[in-house]
Amino acid sequence: MTDAQSFYGRWARVYDWVANAPGVASWRDRTADSLALAPGDTVVEMGCGTGANVPALRERVGPSGQVVGIDVTREMLDRARERPARTGGAVHYVQADAARPPIREADAVLATFVAGIFEDPAAAVDAWCDSVGPGGRVALLNFQRSPSTLATPLNLAFEGFVRLSAPGTRLSRRSHASAFERRVRAARERLTER
């Protein structure tokens, strides 16, 4: 078991609260909208966690579409499978590393709050873009610090969130947040290049 699997396995029960905190659910919804999903599409969520995005994705792809959730942590997937079905359409959960997904073809990929945890986020984004091919869509959603001095309280909260929501390291809170931001930036830059 990897550090990430152990860490997220312990957090699976409280993750739903964090994933649906005030404001976060609307960010997730807008990010799902950006994929411009249509009925019948296949959408893959990388690092699906407890499945917080699945209801919104199922609604968009309809009964003829498919939603595939990939996560490395069994406990997260167990929680995702417990979610009640609200709309038609097939949902499949796969325990696998989202940085190297076992998916060959999809119409769209969604990755929320996950790019910052990959060792090589640019390679993960490449794999996701390859899985959707020409005309496919990939959307990322991540937190980051604000450059505004007025945002100091929010930046402190961000640093705490990153420290609490990622597998432990020996880095300081600020160093951990900086490393997280570098990985998120690398993912975003690679997606822009593609």
* 67: β partners: 43, 91
The backbone region for 22, taken as left when phi is positive above 0, alpha when psi lies in -120 to 50, beta otherwise, is beta
Residue type, 59: E
Burial 141-162 (b: 16+ CB within 10 A, else e): bbbebeeeeeeeeebeebbebb
Radius of gyration of the chain (CA): 16
Q: Sign of torsion, CA 79 80 81 85? A: positive
Model pLDDT, residue 151: 64
In the chain, the number of structural domains is 1
Are residues 111 and 83 in contact, defined by beta-carbon separation less than 8 angstroms? no
Model pLDDT, residue 104: 86
Model pLDDT, residue 27: 86
How many residues are present in the chain? 194
Are residues 91 and 42 in contact, defined by beta-carbon separation less than 8 angstroms? no
Low-confidence stretches of the chain (pLDDT beneath 50): 169-173
Cα-Cα-Cα-Cα dihedral of 33, 35, 41, 47, to 10°?
A: -100
Domain assignment of residue 67, given as a range: 3-193
The CATH number of whichever domain residue 74 belongs to comes to 3.40.50.150
Model pLDDT, residue 155: 59
Cα-Cα-Cα-Cα dihedral of 67, 70, 74, 77, to 10°?
A: -30
Q: Exposed, middle or buried, 26 (CB in 10 Å: 0-12/13-18/19+)?
A: exposed
Model pLDDT, residue 82: 84
Residue pLDDT, tens place only, 121-176: 999 999 999 999 889 999 999 876 667 777 677 656 656 665 665 555 444 445 66
Q: Show Cβ contacts of residue 104 under 8 Å, excluding neighbours closer than 6 positions.
A: 131
**Could you give the 3-state DSSP secondary structure of residue 147?**
coil
What is this structure's pTM? 0.80
Model pLDDT, residue 29: 92
Report the alpha-carbon distance of residue 156 to residue 136 in Å, rounded: 36
Are residues 28 and 56 in contact, defined by beta-carbon separation less than 8 angstroms? yes
